[in-house]
């Protein structure tokens, strides 16, 4: 619902008037308009949406003509796309222009929940790169893990750690993304709570917290590594002044990005710092700020070496079955922890072992199956994985009504001919498993994920 101008906090209005000057009336007008709706397609799942237009600074971003009920779209639950605010997709330009994504990298998304930037990073980096997607709040880390599983990448580790914990990994990461918790000024149009919770004191509190976060995690970025710092707020206290602080405290270089004037992003260059503001009166999106920084100072580096791993391999019999489940199994490492088998690129085994010894892991790679008496029960994440070998499984195409029944974990009245574990598809997008028995289908959709909307 559009903002009523009189409901905006008076100090915020004054600050923005001072910051935008003649453009302030256009800014206020934009807050009274309906926010645009945008999604980012999963390039590995080849899903097409009719009637969209392109988000100009990202390959797979699309604007929708209106906001659908995403909860009632089975393709959304299958990870065919992520609902993401368009301005924040500008992360793609920072990565593509400043990072060599043709090479395997270690990447950290520090404040990652609910997963927009992590799923975006997963689509941008090399398949043998390692993405550590972290969230400090445990409940939000579970949501993050769910969204990572839906996206289907097998080179992502979800962690639940405080930024300070990453000091145990000096010089480990090539790239670090800090989408810092902020006062949320850029979300006022979409989130009334952000507007009601805003105060000048909270802005100062956020600024101090952002500096602590950067300080705590700084040593885990290697020399010449790239830090991408962003917020969804406008004020200089949380943006430009934090960059000035970093410039004074550390040896850094601010990197300039090439931007198309028609995009509407506002470039900031002052006293050696560089950044980019997105304002809703200038772009088709919400408020956003981003800066790209190269770390110039030397850093002790934790070396990934061939140390003894704590991971256990599945039995030969189980491994032979699993290798038929995935595409390009020769480059995959399967590990078994108790009854649960998971997999990730074999080149990342040592790195993930180090993470397991130093951080709280929520998930690592893809959960493939639960082992029960030398038999395999496929995990939901396996159905959503982009490495799934569909040719090995029976499939069942569902129409939208049956797909929604499945996602509500209801009983399906369909009776396929072939028995056993069957992949449920909606518009060629896997959405989960069913176990076909002689007189029924056991719905294997995770109970905690089921949709409750009618």
Q: List, run by run, the mean pLDDT of 10-residue segments along the chain (454 residues).
A: 78 96 96 95 96 98 97 98 98 98 98 98 97 97 98 98 98 98 94 89 98 98 97 98 98 98 96 97 97 94 70 91 94 93 95 96 97 92 97 95 97 86 97 93 96 89
Determine if residue 264 is labeled as part of a ligand binding site: no
Compute CA distances 416 → 411, 424, 429, whole Å.
14, 11, 19
Locate CATH 3.40.50.150 in the chain: 5-295
What residues does 178 pair with on adjacent strands? 229
- The three-state secondary structure class of 421 is strand
Locate CATH 3.10.450.720 in the chain: 308-392, 393-454
Catalytic residue positions, numbered:
232
Q: How far apart are the C-alpha atoms of 318 and 303, rounded to whole Å?
A: 32
Determine if residue 271 is labeled as part of a ligand binding site: no
Determine if residue 128 is labeled as part of a ligand binding site: no
According to CATH, the topology of domain 393-454 is Nuclear Transport Factor 2; Chain: A, (3.10.450)
Which one-letter DSSP state was computed for residue 409? T
- Enclosing H/E stretch for 130: strand 130-134
Convert 88-127 to b/e letters by CB count within 10 Å (16 or more is b): bbbbbbbbeebbebeebbbbbbbbbbbbbbbbbbbbbbeb
Residue 249's pLDDT is 97
Compute CA distances 177 → 132, 133, 173, whole Å.
10, 10, 10
Q: Which CATH architecture has domain 308-392?
A: Roll (3.10)
Determine if residue 18 is labeled as part of a ligand binding site: no
Compute CA distances 265 → 182, 217, 271, whole Å.
20, 28, 20
Residue 159's pLDDT is 98
According to CATH, the topology of domain 5-295 is Rossmann fold (3.40.50)
What predicted TM-score, i.e. pTM, was given to this entire model? Answer: 0.96
Determine if residue 117 is labeled as part of a ligand binding site: yes
- Enclosing H/E stretch for 138: helix 138-151
């Amino acid at each position: 619902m559009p903002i009523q101008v009189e409901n905006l906090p008076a100090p915020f209005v004054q600050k923005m008037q001072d910051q935008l000057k003649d453009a302030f009336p256009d800014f206020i007008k934009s807050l009274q308009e309906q926010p645009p709706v945008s999604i980012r397609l999963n390039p590995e799942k080849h899903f097409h949406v009719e009637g969209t237009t392109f988000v100009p600074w990202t390959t797979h971003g699309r604007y929708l003509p209106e906001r659908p009920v995403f909860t009632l779209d089975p393709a959304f639950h299958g990870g065919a796309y992520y609902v993401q605010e368009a301005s924040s997709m500008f992360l793609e330009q920072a990565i593509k222009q400043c990072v060599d994504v043709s090479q395997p990298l270690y990447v950290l998304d520090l404040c990652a929940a609910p997963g927009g930037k992590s799923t975006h990073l997963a689509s941008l980096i090399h398949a043998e790169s390692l993405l550590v997607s972290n969230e400090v709040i445990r409940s939000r880390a579970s949501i993050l893990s769910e969204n990572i599983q839906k996206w289907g990448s097998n080179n992502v580790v979800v962690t639940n750690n405080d930024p300070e914990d990453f000091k145990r990994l000096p010089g480990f990461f090539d790239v670090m993304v800090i989408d810092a918790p902020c006062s949320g000024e850029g979300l006022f149009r979409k989130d009334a709570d952000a507007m009601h919770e805003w105060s000048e004191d909270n802005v100062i509190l956020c600024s101090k917290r952002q500096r602590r976060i950067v300080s705590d995690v700084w040593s885990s970025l290697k020399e010449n590594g790239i830090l991408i710092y962003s917020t969804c707020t406008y004020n200089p206290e949380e943006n430009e002044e934090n960059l000035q602080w970093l410039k004074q405290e550390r040896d850094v270089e601010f990197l300039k990005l090439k931007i198309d004037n028609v995009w509407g992003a506002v470039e900031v260059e002052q006293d050696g710092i560089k950044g980019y503001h997105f304002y809703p009166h200038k772009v088709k999106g919400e408020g956003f700020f981003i800066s790209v920084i190269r770390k110039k100072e030397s850093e002790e580096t934790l070396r990934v070496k061939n140390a003894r791993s704590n991971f256990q391999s599945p039995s030969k019999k189980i491994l032979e079955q699993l290798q038929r489940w995935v595409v390009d199994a020769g480059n995959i490492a399967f590990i078994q922890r108790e009854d649960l088998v998971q997999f990730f690129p074999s080149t990342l085994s040592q790195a993930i072992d180090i993470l397991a010894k130093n951080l709280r892991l929520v998930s690592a790679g893809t959960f493939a199956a639960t082992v029960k008496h030398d038999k395999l029960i496929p995990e939901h994440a396996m159905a959503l994985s982009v490495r799934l070998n569909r040719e090995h499984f029976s499939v069942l195409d569902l129409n939208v009504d049956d797909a929604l029944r499945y996602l509500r974990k209801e009983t399906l009245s369909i009776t396929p001919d072939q028995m056993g574990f069957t992949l449920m598809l909606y518009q060629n997008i896997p959405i989960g498993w069913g176990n076909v028995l002689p007189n029924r289908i056991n719905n294997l959709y995770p109970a905690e994920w089921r949709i409750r909307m009618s």
